[in-house]
Structure 1
Amino acid sequence: MADDDRTPEEEFQELMRRLMSGGSLDPEQLARMAGMPVDPAALGQMMQQFQGMFAGAQDGAISWDATRRQALHIANQDGRIVTDGQKTDLDQAFALAGLWLGEATTLSATAEVPRVVTRGQWVEETLPVWQEIAEPVATSIADALTEALRTQVPEEMQELVQNAGRLMRGVGGTLFATQLGQVVGKLSLEVVSGADAGVPVLAAGAAVILPQNFAELGAGLEIPDDQLALYIAARELASARLFRHAKWLRLHIMSQIADYARGIHVDVEALEDMASRLDPSDPEELRRALESGALLPAQSDAQRVALERLENLLALVEGWIDVVTADATSRVPHLDRIAEAIRRRRAEGGPAEDALGALVGLRLRPRRLREAAAMWRAVTDAVGIAARDSLWDYPDLIPDASDIDDPAALVARLEATARGEEPAADEVDDALARLLAEEAGRSDEPSSDHDERPDHDERPEGDRPV
């Protein structure tokens, strides 16, 4: 039978046979499926990736190596290297910014030496965090894809699909992993420093700048590179000091992301509708659906609450970094223009950040950055640097959303504490006091068992404790 005479069911069955038997597949078809550019190098990587996936697909595991391959392919395609001159200039910026930060914050410098890294190095060092963020969605998509295909095939093919279930789960997961690799690879072309991604993607205390992207940052700003480098270096070092001091902060942020991710479930109806129209010879629709976020349903109420908490926390972090950086670089002539350009760039995001939001349903932007920065400025002016920075000592000390809304109330509490006054009790304090009083009252009541116990030990003398 000629290929053109086969029905869609027969085409799908042939595709499944090829997948399970290790037969040959059209490399351009696989490239389109994962959204990769159709060039010889990319196709070679794609074939290696899928061959490895098929070889180990019996356990249905997601091949995160696909993310790494694709991200590094994009990050390293420029071919430019970091020159000695770039490294020297940025190292000097780090050194001077570190000295200035000592006047702007009481948080101590990190033991790690700040580094100049390539885009590929940034990918390698941050990939575990992106995988942690995306894994719940990848698993959900892989499971839903398997279920949707199972419900769409004819009855006589059920056994075939059942036997290939683990393999298809691996295929779906690896398609998502490859899309994630594209997103991370594109991010590596945009981020200027470790703190630029919006979440703590590096180890606590690490500070890095990507000179390839820094060179493009100043284009059109008409700001001398040395001034811009000082500001970026100060921001990066301030972030590194914060996460090194508040060792709990990174876990706090990632747990907020996990709370959001736990509520992510792929829209199975949308996936089934797409699967019913899926042409095995043209899987472009699957790639577009993954890239656009069409398979992710609307946010649940619990997710909206988790997202609000996360946005407030990210805004607190970014706002503190903004204030500390501004104070540390107050000697820089074009400080206001630089700070505004960085804030605007951070608020607008970019294509890669939009794609990440579509893939995992979460856009990691501190929407309340300006309000949080204003709060930190008010706290600094009122009680000083040391009292401000001490709010990062423990998780229960950091300001909350109401403090961002009303900095005056937070300032009043901190000023009262500085004067040695007891803070005014709030509703939580009152409720806790009532609970403790009730517990104390119950403990004072005579026990019924107490009256029944003898006043003396009736055990034989030899059995009594000495």
Structure 2
Amino acid sequence: MSNLPFGFGPPDPDKPGDNGPSEGGQQPGADAFNQLGQMLSQLGQMLSQAGSSSGPVNYDLAKQIALQKLGGSAGGTIGFASSGDADSAVRDAGHLAELWLDAATILPAGASVTAAWSPRDWVQKTLPTWQRLCDPVAQQVSGAWVEALPAEAKQAAGPLLSMVGQMGGMAFGSQLGNALAQLASEVLTSTEVGLPLGPEGTSALLPANIGKFTEGLELPSSEVLVFLAAREAAHQRLFSHVPWLRQRLLATVEEFAHGIKVDTSALEQLAGQVDPSNPASIEEALSSGLLEPQTTPEQQAALNRLETLLALVEGWVDVVVADAVGDRLPGADALRETLRRRRATGGPAEQTFATLVGLELRPRRMRAASALWKLVGDRHGAEKRDGLWSHPDLMPSAEDLDDPLEFAERLGKPGELDDPMAELERTKREDKRDPGKDDEPGS
């Protein structure tokens, strides 16, 4: 991981206490926790004013901070006379994109609504999904604090432990709010990070951000809008009509977060950095890098699965949108390459996500996946290509991305997934006839 989860940061060499473990490596003592108790009593009023928080992150505070930072940012007009004209243009672009996509894929339209969101809209409508993604990270860190305490310290702290949780929730909420504000001012669509962050059945574009993105492209804003609407609509077709995909993506991110381990030997240093008279020192201490997470083999395996699945999603969208727009948009090839680089090299969205959840959400193998999907479509048609999404067991693997030609040839062999749905039914029938076959050697 090149970025650390929210609540973590690189050590500051100029900050006292960042030069390594304290002498003797002693566990947190009574003095440190007396100091913590003083701080908690001073924070009581602030905690009561920061909004309710029943989990490891204070999402009320996160939302307040994000919306405050965004101010009154509206949807933007992307070259149109008014925001109303921009809303109408987004709807028209979405309708045109859906018509073109109908000829490029067998998956039907997945969105019943195409909406123009302001950055503030994006924060409010995606926050429930962020909560699902961020809770495991914060829960692991909060749990590590408590588990690291010696038994006598836990007994002495007593009811203060719940206040420690509130304190951590505020610190995480503050960082999350700042990160969401930054992300909301940069993303172009609701699916740009590759995950279904918004409500089901809604395609959403952010005209204000698209306007800024378009400024340096020397392309008509209408072309950029239609192209991005096609990408958003293609994502929504997958997320709406591939039942397992949404859950698999989010669950894999959660699995990664649940595996986070922290080095709690520096807890005494962490307590020593907190100034009871300065509540802001809580967040500074949490960002000092003292509780830097350690990547586990289980996390790496989850990350590999996530990267492969993201690459397959983004590669499919890339190919289908290219087929849909065809020669209709003169600047389509340039836009396609620009967005490929933005995704593959880690644009602002990916970088901010890495800070929030602790992993880089980059489809590093998107070009390989795109080549595979194009090859399968050219050789076997869109029906067989898109039919592979009917079940996760039919999907190309990371090894198939290494050799897309072999995968395409395998699909063409008699009995080798001639009909993906028929193959799935055949597998189910075999499982029913021989339920114990998975336990046999070599199976």
TM-score normalized by structure 1?
0.75
**Percent sequence identity over matched residues?**
38
Letter of the 1:119 partner, please give it: P
Partner of 1:268: 264
Structure 1 SS opposite 2:191: helix
Among 226, 229, 241, which residue is 1:230 paired with? Answer: 226
Matched, 1:183 2:179: yes
Higher relative contact order (CA 8 A, sep 6+): 2
Partner of 2:210: 214
Structure 1: stretches of 5+ with no match in the other structure? 1-6, 23-46, 440-466
How many residues get paired? 393
Letter of the 2:91 partner, please give it: D
Matched, 1:367 2:391: no
Partner of 1:14: 38
Residues 187, 353 of structure 1: 8 Å contact kept: no
Partner of 1:256: 252
Note the C-alpha offset of 1:356: 3.3
CA RMSD of aligned residues (A): 3.3
Note the C-alpha offset of 1:134: 0.7
Partner of 1:445: none
Note the C-alpha offset of 1:12: 4.7
**What is the rounded CA distance, in whole Å, between the counterparts of 1:321 and 1:80 in structure 2?**
25
Residues 100, 328 of structure 1: 8 Å contact kept: yes
Partner of 2:324: 328
Note the C-alpha offset of 1:105: 0.8
Please, which moves more after superposition, 10-19 or 168-177? 10-19
**What is the rounded CA distance, in whole Å, between the counterparts of 1:100 and 1:60 in structure 2?**
44
**What is the rounded CA distance, in whole Å, between the counterparts of 1:220 and 1:108 in structure 2?**
34
Partner of 1:68: 63
Question: Which structure has the larger Rg?
Answer: 1
> Judging changes above 3 Å, is the alpha-carbon distance between structure 1 residues 178 and 12 closer, same or farther for their aligned structure 2 residues?
same
Note the C-alpha offset of 1:421: 7.2
**What is the rounded CA distance, in whole Å, between the counterparts of 2:142 and 2:64 in structure 1?**
20
Residues 260, 294 of structure 2: 8 Å contact kept: no
Among 381, 384, 391, which residue is 2:381 paired with? Answer: 384
> Judging changes above 3 Å, is the alpha-carbon distance between structure 1 residues 417 and 254 closer, same or farther for their aligned structure 2 residues?
farther
Note the C-alpha offset of 1:81: 5.5
> Judging changes above 3 Å, is the alpha-carbon distance between structure 1 residues 294 and 338 closer, same or farther for their aligned structure 2 residues?
farther
1:316-347: CA deviations, max 9, x gaps?
A: 00000000011111121111111111111222
**What is the rounded CA distance, in whole Å, between the counterparts of 1:265 and 1:376 in structure 2?**
37
1:137-175: CA deviations, max 9, x gaps?
A: 112223334566x569xx8x9766323111111111221
Partner of 1:44: none
Residues 183, 352 of structure 2: 8 Å contact kept: no
TM-score normalized by structure 2?
0.79
Residues 60, 167 of structure 1: 8 Å contact kept: no
> Judging changes above 3 Å, is the alpha-carbon distance between structure 1 residues 356 and 97 closer, same or farther for their aligned structure 2 residues?
closer
Note the C-alpha offset of 1:10: 7.2
**What is the rounded CA distance, in whole Å, between the counterparts of 1:211 and 1:329 in structure 2?**
20
> Judging changes above 3 Å, is the alpha-carbon distance between structure 1 residues 417 and 103 closer, same or farther for their aligned structure 2 residues?
farther
Structure 2 SS opposite 1:114: strand
Note the C-alpha offset of 1:298: 2.3
Q: Write out aligned runs for 1:29-108 (5 A).
A: 50-52=47-49, 62-78=57-73, 83-108=83-108
Note the C-alpha offset of 1:381: 0.9
Please, which moves more after superposition, 375-384 or 404-413? 404-413
1:420-454: CA deviations, max 9, x gaps?
A: 9799x9xxx9xx99x95998xxxxxxxxxxxxxxx
Letter of the 1:370 partner, please give it: R
> Judging changes above 3 Å, is the alpha-carbon distance between structure 1 residues 292 and 191 closer, same or farther for their aligned structure 2 residues?
farther
Please, which moves more after superposition, 185-194 or 68-77? 68-77
Note the C-alpha offset of 1:281: 3.8
> Judging changes above 3 Å, is the alpha-carbon distance between structure 1 residues 357 and 267 closer, same or farther for their aligned structure 2 residues?
farther
Residues 192, 214 of structure 1: 8 Å contact kept: yes
Partner of 2:127: 127
